[in-house]
């Protein structure tokens, strides 16, 4: 990056935060009740997110740790098993007939067995998982890099997000799901993990396959992934906010 573009970028950041500050100073209860003001706030949040994405996309690998820093105990959180009979029968046969489906806005919809996933370009990384509940744990993950896999199925030009559909229901009729944008999808540390701490991914941690999207909070890291759907918008999926927890008020972009 040249000094010139560095200056431009700083100027851009300053202008954006000045605009954000002015909005905050203008805030009061009555204003925040007004639909127009809420709309402006919504846009400001969008702008902040865009700035963060802009900065992040130009640097930042998530920090990686050494073997000696691995957590002795890694908490299993949220769903730690999947109740339904077809999942339980897959557990019994070691997921021999399990397949990951990839569809939606892709040129070549496909499905992959675990063996096929294991033959794809992989990455191993020791990272810290941060849950919004306030705990963290360091684990070692190995999985297929999502970027090359997406290149092989071919995204259609209107694809903007990937939705991860999971096997578990956190509450009746509401399967867990998550979504990420293409910046995170093609990030080198974004993997579909099948091993954890050098073992086949155990059931409590999302067997047979879970997403690792290392620059975001734990709830983005969908476990028990059954299907990846490329979409132009996630407004028609679940509650329309891009994820199970997002439908219950969490931020869609959970950058750390
Ligand atoms: N399918 C599914 N994925 C999920 C969850 C879940 O309940 N179901 N919980 C999320 C939350 S809040 C966290 S912190 C992590 C927990 O992952 P872990 O069990 O490996 O610690 O999984 C995330 N992915
Ligand atoms: Mo979490």
Beta carbon of 168 within 6 Å of any ligand 1 atom: yes
Q: For 178-236, how does the pLDDT look when each residue is reduced to its tens digit (9 = 90+)?
A: 999 999 999 999 999 999 999 999 999 999 999 999 999 999 999 999 999 999 999 99
| 255: in domain | no
| 66: in domain | yes
CA of 218 to the centre of ligand 2 (A): 4
Beta carbon of 184 within 6 Å of any ligand 1 atom: no
Beta carbon of 218 within 6 Å of any ligand 1 atom: yes
Average pLDDT in the 144-164 region?
A: 98
Q: Which residue, judged by its Cα, is nearest atom 8 of ligand 1?
A: 79
pLDDT at 128 over 50: yes
Q: Name the band, by pLDDT with cuts 50, 70 and 90, for residue 117.
A: very high
CA of 201 to the centre of ligand 1 (A): 13
| 241: in domain | yes
Beta carbon of 177 within 6 Å of any ligand 1 atom: no
Q: Name the band, by pLDDT with cuts 50, 70 and 90, for residue 9.
A: very low
| 59: in domain | yes
Question: Which ligand has the shortest distance to the CA of 222?
Answer: 1
Q: What secondary structure does DSSP assign to 54-73, as a single string?
A: HHHHTS-PPP---GGG--SS
Q: Which residues contact 7 (CB under 8 A, 6 or more apart)?
A: none
User: Which residue did the predictor score with more confidence, 90 or 36?
Assistant: 90
Q: For 31-77, how does the pLDDT look when each residue is reduced to its tens digit (9 = 90+)?
A: 444 555 445 555 566 666 666 666 555 458 999 999 999 999 999 99
CA of 93 to the centre of ligand 2 (A): 29
Residue 129's beta-bridge partner residues? 137
Q: What is the pLDDT of residue 170?
A: 85
- Percent of the chain clearing pLDDT 70 (strictly above): 77
| 256: in domain | no
Q: Name the band, by pLDDT with cuts 50, 70 and 90, for residue 3.
A: very low
Residue 98's domain comprises 3-248
CA of 213 to the centre of ligand 2 (A): 13
Question: Which ligand has the shortest distance to the CA of 171?
Answer: 1
Give the three-state DSSP class for 76. Answer: coil
Q: What is the pLDDT of residue 19?
A: 39
| 38: in domain | yes
The tally of domains found in the chain comes to 1
CA 18, CA 23: separation in Å to the nearest integer?
A: 9
Q: List the CATH number of the domain containing 69.
A: 3.90.420.10
Element (DSSP H or E) covering residue 13: helix 3-25
Question: Which ligand has the shortest distance to the CA of 76?
Answer: 1
| 42: in domain | yes
**CA distances (Å), origin 17, targets 13, 60, 110, 244:** 6, 21, 44, 30
Q: Name the band, by pLDDT with cuts 50, 70 and 90, for residue 138.
A: very high
| 136: in domain | yes
Point out the ligand 1 atom lying closest to the alpha carbon of residue 166. Answer: 1
Average pLDDT in the 223-251 region?
A: 98
């Amino acid at each position: 990056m040249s000094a010139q573009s560095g200056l431009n970028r700083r100027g851009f950041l300053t202008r954006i935060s000045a605009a954000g500050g002015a909005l905050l100073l203008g805030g009061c209860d009555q204003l925040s009740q007004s639909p127009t003001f809420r709309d402006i706030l919504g846009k400001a949040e969008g702008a902040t997110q865009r700035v963060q994405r802009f900065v992040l996309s130009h640097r930042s690998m998530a920090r990686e740790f050494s073997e000696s820093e691995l957590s002795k105990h890694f908490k299993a959180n949220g769903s730690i098993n999947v109740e339904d009979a077809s999942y339980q029968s897959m557990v019994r046969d070691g997921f021999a007939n399990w397949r990951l489906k990839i569809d939606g806005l892709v040129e070549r919809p496909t499905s992959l067995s675990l063996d096929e996933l294991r033959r794809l370009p992989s990455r191993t990384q020791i990272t810290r998982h941060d849950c919004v509940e306030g705990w963290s744990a360091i684990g070692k993950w190995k999985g297929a890099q999502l970027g090359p896999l997406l290149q092989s199925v071919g995204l259609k030009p209107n694809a903007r997000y990937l939705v991860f559909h999971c096997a578990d229901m956190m509450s009746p009729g509401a399967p867990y799901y998550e979504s990420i944008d293409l910046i995170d999808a093609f990030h080198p540390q974004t993997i579909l993990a099948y091993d954890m701490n050098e073992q086949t991914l155990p059931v409590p941690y999302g067997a047979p396959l879970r997403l690792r999207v290392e620059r975001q909070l734990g709830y983005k890291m969908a476990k028990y992934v059954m299907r990846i759907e490329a979409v132009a918008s996630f407004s028609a999926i679940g509650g329309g906010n891009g994820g199970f927890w997002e439908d219950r008020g969490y931020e869609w972009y959970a950058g750390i």
